[in-house]
A and B are shown apart, each in its own frame.
Chain A
């Protein structure tokens, strides 16, 4: 942990060297997800409701997913740069060091410009909470916290998976985008609107529904099954197969020379 904080402080200082660029990039990140927000807003101007969810409820859903994603991305996007680390032979250097490899890969890139996205998520979240007429109680707030934990875990797991695949292909695979960026983009609506099959996939294969749809039903009072609030914690288990796959990949990995 101490090492990670050290990495963090290095990254922060290096980002602050170019302040304007940092701010503009963060602004850009903000705008990109603001587009999605406007998209939702315009759709609801026209339709008012979808599958029983109102605008404010969808906003709440989107903001939670965006926060989960932004947090995971800020701190776990080191895996994103992993293909280039791998192909330049940088990973060999990492492996000879007597520290955990995952920690070191994470430290190679901590992208704080993603906070632009976070900021927006927080604003939307506050607005959504304020407008959605949910009566908040301790259990619901705890559910939200669980959702955060579970969501960050699932997205981090996916980033880890993405990096692990690189052991076999030596470059990133674009279709992983659909699992990460795609989940962020399409996670703006409660997953159930995409139909039964997608919901099943998102429950049992990649547990998006466990961090978004089911607990949300409980938070919004659309369902009184209180065990829904524990589902995000089960989603954390998703990290296990991802980690095993990473281990497996590392054993498979032979240095690529250079």
Chain B
């Protein structure tokens, strides 16, 4: 356990060094959030009736989404790991007395968390001071807040477990770029990063709700604003845990199969 903690610490402090980049990132995210909200506002003022969630809930959703982007972006990978697999340097990692799955998992957690630590707070702070419907509202009540934190963590782990599967797929093919882009594009849409899931047509949404992608950013952000509560909430959390387990299992299985037949490319 201790060794994984130190992997985490090295990665995390390493990530904290890029402050200027984070500042630029904050500015971008903020501008992005503003445009997104203005866009939805145009639809909202055209037809309030057809709006599937509260406007202020939507604004909170967008601000959290922008602030927590680095936790939930499915298109973000550690290039180092891909390089390692492709160059065959992964063989060195295999010599170490550690679980490669756990190590990569922890590294991913650390670099995402360090990014988020630098970026989330300025965005949340400014968003909290914006005037009423446009800003970040407080969570509905204390239970919603607690469930939000829980589901936030679960969603974060689900994202990483998903990314792990993509890394591992690399063992099975020479060029990984294609699968990465295709997976990222699919995930991006189905997690609700393009438009929140409630804006999908009802029939489509009913199916997507059960996919692992809905267990990523969709659930915690909607719990926060009180858009998901009661039975739906418990169902959502259970589903999250299920997908987390399932994807970790699949990832580990694929990895051990890959390692059994691994012949490092080149030398």
Q: Which residues of A line the B interface, CB within 8 A?
A: 18, 20-21, 23-25, 27-29, 31-32, 34-36, 38-39, 42-43, 45-51, 171, 173-175, 177-178, 182, 186, 189, 193-195, 198
Tell me the interface secondary structure of chain A in the complex.
helix
The interface of chain B, by Cβ under 8 A from chain A, is 21, 24-25, 27-28, 31-32, 35, 38-39, 41-43, 46-47, 50, 52, 175, 177-182, 184-186, 188-189, 194-195, 199-201, 204
- B contact residues around A28 at 8 Å (CB): 177-178, 180-182, 184-185
Q: How far is the CA of A50 from the CA of B188 in the complex (A)?
A: 24
Q: Which residue of B lies closest to A169 (CB)?
A: B20
**Count of CB-CB pairs between chains A and B under 8 Å:** 106
Look across to chain A and name the residue whose beta carbon is closest to the beta carbon of B24.
Answer: A174
- How far, in angstroms, from A182 to B42 measured CA to CA in the complex? 18
Q: Which of B25, B42, B46, B182 contacts A194 (CB 8 A)?
A: B42
What is the CA–CA distance of A43 and B27 in the complex, to the nearest angstrom? 27
How far is it, in angstroms, between the C-alpha of A106 and the C-alpha of B195 when the chains are bound? Answer: 35
B181 touching A175, Cβ below 8 Å = no
Given contact pairs A35-B189, A178-B28, A182-B31, A25 touches B200 in the complex (Cβ within 8 A): no
**How far apart sit A47 and B201, CA to CA, in the bound complex (Å)?**
11
**Chain A nearest CB: distance from B92 CB in Å?**
26
**Beta-carbon contact of B201 and A46 below 8 Å:** yes
Cβ-defined partner of B50 (8 Å) among A39, A46, A51: A46
Given contacts A28-B185, A31-B182, A32-B188, 7 further A-B contacts (CB under 8 A): A24-B175, A34-B185, A49-B46, A171-B21, A175-B24, A175-B31, A193-B42
Q: In the complex, A43→B199 CA distance in Å?
A: 7
Q: Is the interface of B mostly helix, strand, loop or mixed?
A: helix
State whether A194 touches B185 (Cβ < 8 A).
no
Chain A proximity of B94: nearest CB distance (Å)? 26
In angstroms, Cα B79 to Cα A19, docked, is 22
The residues of A that contact B52 with a CB separation of less than 8 Å are 46
21 contacts between A and B (CB under 8 A): A21-B177, A24-B177, A24-B178, A24-B181, A25-B181, A28-B177, A28-B181, A31-B185, A35-B188, A42-B201, A42-B204, A46-B201, A47-B46, A47-B47, A50-B46, A51-B42, A174-B24, A174-B28, A182-B32, A193-B42, A194-B39
- Tell me, rounded to whole Å, the shortest Cβ–Cβ distance linking A198 to chain B: 7
Q: Is the CB of A193 within 8 A of B38?
A: yes
**A223, B47: Cα distance in complex, Å:** 24
| Cβ–Cβ contact B178 & A173, under 8 A | no
